[in-house]
Amino acid sequence: MKYVSEFRDGEIARAVAAEIASVAEPDRHYKVMEVCGGHTHTIYRHGIKDLLPDQVELVHGPGCPVCVLPMGRVDEGISVAERPEVIFTCFGDMMRVPGSKGNLLEMKAEGADVRMVYSPLDALRIARENPDREVVFYAIGFETTAPSTALTLQRARKEGLPNFSVFCNHVTIVPPVRALLDSPDLRLDAFVGPGHVSTVIGCRPYEFMPEDYGKPCVVAGFEPLDLLQSVLMLMRQLEEGRCEVENQYSRIVPWEGNLAALRSMAEVFELRPYFEWRGLGFIAQSALKLSEEYADFDAEKRFSVPGVRVADPKACQCGEVLKGVLKPPECKVFGTACTPERPLGALMVSSEGACAAYYNFGRKSHERVEIGSRN
């Protein structure tokens, strides 16, 4: 297969869905979590949920890096951005994530020098062009984006740029998944593993799922047929009594990961003892900070940040959605007080957020079901 259209063939999709239905036991309910927010968008955008039999339920996981960032870390970023000597750089979806007193876009409107970048290398270029200003890159993301931050820091160190620093919020995927599996609130049968993260870390880190928890995992790509095939692979494992890690996305994901990227990360980062996750609380060794070797580039050490915890708005139920306990439309403010135009929670902001995906692509389908059920 060479082209995107081949991964979106409706006839093949219906055939795979029929095979999933033939494998599913009629009296059993299957609960499958897709960890990655990119998968959530594919599911809603292409109507995959409607192709699956009623016994198979897809549950959204904590795989959107913007969505899992607690409000306290947003506030800390804003406190750095407000400093007059700082040019604060970040990815576009981070600009609208609400903190307790606003977001970065609002701070920019009030005069803060906040600039959207497409890569940490853009922030490095801005630092070169503005030697009299402090340039801070707000680094977020799982292991997917951490290598680009690591390589940028290696280059900054080689060039000896004294006015560049990183406010590091990179997180890792395995600890929150383990926390979910330890949660008594959630019963899951299997996992669709994240494709983007796995291009860096490979498949081996997921082996704890079958070995420690008896849950199969299939690493999946992001096209509709990728996801349907992954669900079928999981259903076959459950039917045959197998429990293992499989790689559906082998055209991109090497089993051992990207070793060069992992080496760069190992040089630049080290694990934090604890990190707070929205909805999941503090999880041990679940995030990265700059290593001592790169401490001079650590914005948290260069600037004074408040370091306080901030509770989410009471009406917002992002935490329950991130844990898969609630579906987006079950949140009390979904689509009313919280919309993509005026988000209360991060899940409605990010392009990988489950609430944004449901609002943009799945809302009408849900409304039809609700109207039908009322008749």
Was domain 24-300+307-314 assigned CATH 3.40.50.11740? yes
Q: What is the mean pLDDT of the chain?
A: 90
Sheet strands side by side (includes 30-36): 56-63, 30-36, 190-193, 217-219, 245-247
Query: How many Cβ atoms from other residues are within 10 Å of residue 54's Cβ?
Result: 9
Q: What's residue 1's pLDDT?
A: 53
Q: What letter does residue 193 receive in the DSSP assignment?
A: E
**What is residue 159's predicted lDDT score, i.e. its pLDDT?**
97
- Could you tell me which of 61, 43, 5, 7 has the C-alpha nearest to residue 251? 7
Identify the pLDDT of residue 369. 46
Residue 90's DSSP bridge partners are: 116
Using the Cα atoms of residue 341, residue 342, residue 346 and residue 348 in order, give the sign of their dihedral: negative
Question: From the DSSP assignment, how many helices (H) and strands (E) are in the chain?
Answer: 16, 13
> Could you give the C-alpha distances from 330 to 230, 320, 370, in angstroms and in order?
27, 10, 12
- The span from the CA of 375 to the CA of 372, in Å, is 5
326 and 333 in contact (C-beta within 8 Å)?
no
d(CA 242, CA 206): 15
Distance (Å, whole) CA 138 – CA 89: 6
Q: Divide the 375 residues of the chain into consecutive groups of 10 and give the mean pLDDT of each group.
A: 80 96 95 90 89 92 82 93 97 89 93 97 98 97 96 98 97 93 86 96 97 97 96 97 97 96 98 89 94 97 82 77 81 84 76 78 57 41
202: alpha, beta or left, given left = phi > 0 and alpha = psi -120 to 50? left
Query: How many CA within 13 A on the CB side of residue 74?
Result: 29
DSSP-derived letter for residue 361 is I
CA dist 210 → 181, 308, 310 (Å): 11, 37, 36
Give CA–CA dist 120/94, Å, rounded: 14
Helix boundaries (H) for the chain: 10-23, 37-45, 48-51, 71-81, 104-109, 120-129, 146-159, 174-182, 195-201, 208-213, 224-240, 259-268, 299-302, 318-322, 354-357, 363-374
CB half-sphere exposure, 247, CA atoms < 13 A = 20
Copy the structure tokens of residue 297: 């580039």
Q: Locate the domains of the chain by residue range.
A: 24-300+307-314, 317-362
Alpha-carbon distance of 175 to 303, in angstroms, equals 29
